[in-house]
Structure 1
Amino acid sequence: MSRFSYGPWHDGPDPLAPPVDLREALDAIGRDVMDGRSPRSALEELLRRGTANTSGLDELSRRLWQRRSQLQRRHNLDGTLQRVRELLDEALRAEKAELFPDPDDDARFREAQLDALPSGTAAAVRELAEYDWRSEQARESYRQIQDLLGQELMESRFQGMKDALQNMRPEDTERIRAMMADLNDLLLSHLRGEDTSAKFAQFMRRHGDFFPENPRNTEELVDALAQRAAAAQRMMNSMSERQRAELAELMGNAFGDPKLVEQIASLDANLRALRPGEDWTGSARFRGNQPMGLGEGAQAMADLAEIDALAEQLAQSYPGARLEDIDLEALERQLDEDASVDARRLSELERELREQGLLERAPDGSLRLSPKALRRLGQTALKDVVNAARRQGRRDSRVTGAAGEPTGATRPWQFGDTEPWDVPRTVRNAVLRGAATGPVSLDVVDVEVTETEQRARAAVALCVDTSWSMVQDGRWVPMKRTALALHQLVSTRFRTDALQLVTFGRHAKTVELGELVGLEGVWEQGTNLHHALLLAGRHLRRHPDAHPVVLVVTDGEPTAHLERDGEARFSYPPQPATLRKTVAEVDALAKLGASVSVFMLGEDPKLEEFVKLIARRSGGRVVNPDLDGLGAAVVGDYLHRRQSR
């Protein structure tokens, strides 16, 4: 039998995590693109904002800065000095208590010697280096000072050595001296450019337990040591002059071995030479009341540096930035596992948007929405339009189906038929045929198909106003969503129809759906409906066998027209020439059999008067929808004209 074992997942993404919600992400990007953003900036905004279930880069950055502020507000760098002072006071109290009962002159001399100690902690510790303690408790307290200084000094330079330095014994001190000597010898060889592979392997065999990060070569060892040493130097830079002087003097007593400080100084010099790019001059201000020792202070400075690096990675503001650059392990160390999961999901979201073809590169190198993305946006827009129509009590319309309307009649299937099967009659035929022979089975002779009538083909021109007033009055996105919904309906249900999108401001032009969706609002005077209708007429003439449909979405009366030389003439209030040319183009469309439906946005009396004139002359109609109902109104009018045909 196969045996299985179960345990926590430690490698790679969580296999039980929910899939990335691309539809929500694409809708958010689509809204921003239609609002005038570029696809790249829309994607960046989505990643900064996040999704319903995933924190964005801005929220992760906020938490990082909060963590940084907490480190500096809660702590100060007096921890080592305070602890040394406490141990020194304990030693002096114990020694004086031992001396007090003794009446001899030596005891009085020792008391006088203790009373004459300098007031400074470092100077007092140095003066007592050769003192012969009578009290065992005092001797132990002084030894603890030496061990504390040694442990703090080593921990400030070697990350992860705290456990190794617990319960130090004399032989452990000798091991540290040997490790420091071997380490500086290794670094000097590396600094001279020698091959240190063998020396590094020998060093790790002898002293590897001091390096829990387990570097694989000399370069990795140097990286780890240089980062820690630079953090320790920044911590010293952050102290006051008095604190630095006190610590520098105290460190000569680390483990009771003045040579250890010399070894540390050599180590720092070697690391500075090997890694001059590290931050050796920075500092930070700590203003809290929780003291930190040298080791904790160095770790705090390393944490601050890591937070700064993570903040830069989350900002994504440097050239070639990618979400894969974010150090997820560091993010989890500084925040929590949820933050790491959120960053990973954002990276997966960006990658999936690209890999599934929702974003693509344009020939000029910029990002743009792919046809696949436009189809998804169109599906959402059309769904919203259908829902809006239902809320307004309009008849529901299907968005998919065959290219013909069922007549209600059926006939036997013939080779080459593409009409849908009439399933009830097909099954009934099979039952009647097989009633006398046993089990029912379908045969080709049983199949009946639904007869459909050929649906008329339409040539549709949707003319949308792109003047600045559409942007200014919040009509920009509803206009684009309307175009998306109509395009989706035509491309899915009425594939034989020819849809042309025309934008008009000072000039008019035909555009593809992606160009319209990504169109940015530009301040430009002019509403050239004359030019738009001229382009619509050209589209209708290219499809003489199709039923002509012209739909116009605008919020202002015509204020520009096209001259013979191709230049647009603008005037406000509108010139009579502008109105005459526009009406003449409406009449030309009417001769082609096209009625013009105008969807008037806003409450402009002059515009209302003009569009009513257009409707009368072309046999069309005027609709004044609100912004939420614009898409339903345009799609409904298109369907009505097809059905009436």
Structure 2
Amino acid sequence: MPAHHRSARYGRYAGGPDPLAPPVDLAEALEAVAEDVMAGYSPEEALREHLRRGGSGQEGLDDLARRVHRRRQELLKHHRLGGTLDEAKQLLEKALRLEREQFLRDARMDPMDRSFRELQLDGLPASTAAAVSELASYDWQSRDAREAYEQIRDLLGRELLDQRFAGMKQALENATDADREAVAAMLGDLNELLDKHRRGEDTEEDFRDFMDRHGDFFPEDPQSVEELIDAMARRSAAAQRMLNSMSPEQREELMQLSAQAFGSPGLMAQLGRLDANLQALRPGEDWTGSERLEGRDGLDLGDGTGVFQDLADLDALAEQLSQFHRGATLDDLDLDALARQLGGDAAVSARTLAELERAMRDSGYLRRDPDGQLRLSPRAVRRLGRSLLRDAAQRLSSRAGRRDARLAGAAGEPSGATREWRFGDVEPWDTTRTVTNAITRTAAEGADPREGLRLGTGDIEIAETEARTQAAVALLVDTSFSMAAEGRWVPMKRTALALHHLVSTRFRGDRLELIGFGRYARQLDVGELTGLPPLREQGTNLHHALLLAGRFFRAHPSFQPVLLVVTDGEPTAHLLPGGESWFSWPPEPETVRATVEELDRLGRAGVQTTFFRLGEDPGLARFLQRMAQRVGGRVVTPEVEDLGPAVLREYLGSRTRRRGFER
């Protein structure tokens, strides 16, 4: 048929990961990881937690683990052992029924012989295995009865082989003597190969010769003797666990019946030798475990061994999904086993999580310090700050009814004049003047502007703006344990990150200092504050924090000082002259006096002060109100979820007040 007449058929892509699938959502992952880091988790723990929870529309490790658990429970509840014994019993009953029916039909049969045979059949042991053994030399009168009896021995042989070689039961159905001889030859050669391997005497050629002769018995297509042993040992160990799970009566019955397999005791001898070889070569497999199956569906030996292999797969998957052992990564997941047990969608979910884990580690959002600890990188903190600032701005605009234009940039109002760009300028370019300068210079140099234009630093002109006073902003955040205990720890950090990003990207002329205060106060960079865990220490040392803020303001004498204090408790600690922190609850007069004196000192220096009170403590409310009155400051009482917008509003408001002060 001509190529242009051929029809095309489309279907689901099945060649591995979908090449058109969207990339993993690093933004969502980063925000989730950072949220947990701010709550006190290490980045490693936070990443693990996100992978366990999953994302929007994405299964996590916990979801997959629950599916593994449900699948395991289904196997245990739907199945029971003893299916082979049941089938053997049914075949025996069929053979006896057919034999007795033959007695009734055969009128020429000697009455004495009939009576003797009836007594012989009536006197058979109740045990199926014992009855089958006793009938081994019985002269069957019914051909159909004899076939039913022979089916028992054929069934047992195929089942015993199916335990070790999956699919053998079906492959040997209606097997001939030649087929059985081929199986016996394979078992003999296999045991010889394993014996040589145990002694270290086998060669690659030995394995290849074996596979050339008997490769049809191994659809797994092992490529080495080690792969062959691995595959067989897993199934043999599962068969042993199944045997361990039977009742003593079931085991005894099965062992007796097994001696009748194919009517050849040699089969059991070869299989016993095979099991011994495999157990010696792979002692690390679970040869002693057992399970309690409580379902209704009886399992034959081959299918039962498959179920026990499935249970082992599910146990291994549960351990892999737990990621408990040190150094575990999602690359450890057996995706083939996951797809086999839970379906292809589970493997896709696991692969996506693994890609997310690799992307988070390779993206530069996480990095290891010299001490080996995983940290959020500066890049991650910047991206997080941008996201938090966007969220805070949206909350601001939703409350004000419009977008706050003051978040748009740092430059002042344009004056209409331009000037040549100088290093360090952050004002916007005057594009028209800049391009005109470049064209004029290019023409003066004798070049044709139509052949291309190259900008030089001397061409750039910037739009002059009205001067604005730069601010030195000290954000003091309470890091006492009550902040974490009352659910204020993460909102406090989110606020600090949003303000840091706003100042560092939109108002780069300002300076920001982050100061945390618990029993002691200390300066914190934004990355350090992000990963700061809650500390179970008592003390709210606002006095020490104000001392550090004063040092920061004195280091920037030409900047307008702005003080923002976030706290949920009265000061309960202050620094002694020797530098030690003195703690007392309720607050002692000395602590209050030291704190007030330091605030008064800042007030005399012209510091604009705003307190952000969290919680409903009436004592704190009275204290902060009096403190604000002393220095002409303000007290803001936001809900904890509105802390970020409130701090940003005050910071932006301080810029408005500064412009008014200039005029």
Equivalent-residue separation in structure 1 for 2:592 and 2:127 (angstroms): 95
1:166 to 2:179 alignment: no
User: What is the CA-CA distance between 1:602 and the residue it aligns to?
Assistant: 2.2
Q: Which residue of 1 aligns with 2:446?
A: none
Q: Which residue of 1 aligns with 2:56?
A: 52
Q: Which residue of 2 aligns with 1:381?
A: 388
Maintained 8 Å contact 1:184/1:267: yes
Q: Which residue of 2 aligns with 1:139?
A: 146
Between stretches 200-209 and 361-370, larger displacement belongs to 361-370
1:104 to 2:109 alignment: yes
Which of 22, 31, 43 is residue 39 of structure 1 equivalent to?
A: 43
User: What is the CA-CA distance between 1:522 and the residue it aligns to?
Assistant: 2.0
Q: Which residue of 2 aligns with 1:287?
A: 294
User: What is the CA-CA distance between 1:424 and the residue it aligns to?
Assistant: 9.5
Equivalent-residue separation in structure 1 for 2:355 and 2:271 (angstroms): 45
User: What is the CA-CA distance between 1:374 and the residue it aligns to?
Assistant: 1.0
1:537 to 2:550 alignment: yes
Gaps of 5+ in 1: 429-439
Partner AA of 1:383 in structure 2: R
SS at match of 1:557: coil
User: What is the CA-CA distance between 1:419 and the residue it aligns to?
Assistant: 5.0
Partner AA of 1:40 in structure 2: E
Between stretches 613-622 and 179-188, larger displacement belongs to 613-622
1:552 to 2:565 alignment: yes
User: What is the CA-CA distance between 1:490 and the residue it aligns to?
Assistant: 0.7
User: What is the CA-CA distance between 1:573 and the residue it aligns to?
Assistant: 2.9
Between stretches 609-618 and 474-483, larger displacement belongs to 609-618
Maintained 8 Å contact 1:77/1:297: yes
Alignment of 1:378-457 (within 5 A): 378-393=385-400, 396-398=403-405, 403-407=410-414, 409=416, 420=428, 450-457=463-470
Q: Which residue of 1 aligns with 2:260?
A: 253
Deviations along 1:361-391, whole A, 9 cap, x unmatched?
1222121111111112211211121122122
Which of 113, 132, 137 is residue 125 of structure 1 equivalent to?
A: 132
Deviations along 1:597-631, whole A, 9 cap, x unmatched?
11112233332333233323323222111112211
For normalisation by structure 2, the TM-score amounts to 0.90
User: What is the CA-CA distance between 1:400 and the residue it aligns to?
Assistant: 6.7
Q: Which residue of 2 aligns with 1:489?
A: 502
1:635 to 2:648 alignment: yes
Q: Which residue of 2 aligns with 1:524?
A: 537
Maintained 8 Å contact 1:230/1:280: yes
Maintained 8 Å contact 1:232/1:301: yes
Deviations along 1:207-230, whole A, 9 cap, x unmatched?
111111111111111111111111
Partner AA of 2:79 in structure 1: H
Maintained 8 Å contact 2:568/2:615: yes
1:362 to 2:369 alignment: yes
Q: Which residue of 2 aligns with 1:296?
A: 303
User: What is the CA-CA distance between 1:545 and the residue it aligns to?
Assistant: 2.0
1:29 to 2:42 alignment: no
Maintained 8 Å contact 1:410/1:422: no
Equivalent-residue separation in structure 2 for 1:484 and 1:412 (angstroms): 35
Deviations along 1:84-124, whole A, 9 cap, x unmatched?
11111111212222222334324443333323322211111
Aligned structure 1 segments of 4 or more residues deviating by more than 6 angstroms: 1-7, 412-418, 422-428, 440-444, 446-449
Between stretches 93-102 and 74-83, larger displacement belongs to 93-102
Equivalent-residue separation in structure 1 for 2:82 and 2:419 (angstroms): 96
Maintained 8 Å contact 2:421/2:460: no
Maintained 8 Å contact 1:222/1:271: yes
Between stretches 580-589 and 246-255, larger displacement belongs to 580-589
Between stretches 243-252 and 127-136, larger displacement belongs to 127-136
SS at match of 2:70: helix
User: What is the CA-CA distance between 1:475 and the residue it aligns to?
Assistant: 1.4
Maintained 8 Å contact 2:396/2:404: no
User: What is the CA-CA distance between 1:589 and the residue it aligns to?
Assistant: 1.6
Partner AA of 1:39 in structure 2: P
Maintained 8 Å contact 1:597/1:620: yes
Q: Which residue of 1 aligns with 2:285?
A: 278
Deviations along 1:294-348, whole A, 9 cap, x unmatched?
0111111111111111111111112221111111111111111111111111111
Between stretches 69-78 and 580-589, larger displacement belongs to 580-589
SS at match of 1:611: helix
Equivalent-residue separation in structure 2 for 1:315 and 1:386 (angstroms): 39
Which of 466, 471, 474 is residue 487 of structure 2 equivalent to?
A: 474
Q: Which residue of 2 aligns with 1:372?
A: 379
Equivalent-residue separation in structure 2 for 1:448 and 1:442 (angstroms): 20
Q: Which residue of 2 aligns with 1:192?
A: 199
SS at match of 1:495: coil
Equivalent-residue separation in structure 2 for 1:36 and 1:233 (angstroms): 48
SS at match of 1:229: helix
User: What is the CA-CA distance between 1:8 and the residue it aligns to?
Assistant: 5.2
Q: Which residue of 2 aligns with 1:265?
A: 272
SS at match of 1:396: coil
Deviations along 1:191-218, whole A, 9 cap, x unmatched?
1111331121111111111111111111
**CA 1:441–1:205: 2 relative to 1, 3 Å:** closer
Maintained 8 Å contact 1:406/1:450: no
1:515 to 2:520 alignment: no
User: What is the CA-CA distance between 1:398 and the residue it aligns to?
Assistant: 5.0
Q: Which residue of 1 aligns with 2:66?
A: 62
User: What is the CA-CA distance between 1:17 and the residue it aligns to?
Assistant: 2.1
1:310 to 2:317 alignment: yes
Maintained 8 Å contact 2:242/2:304: yes
Gaps of 5+ in 2: 437-449, 659-663
Between stretches 15-24 and 128-137, larger displacement belongs to 128-137
CA RMSD of aligned residues (A): 2.9
Partner AA of 2:56 in structure 1: A
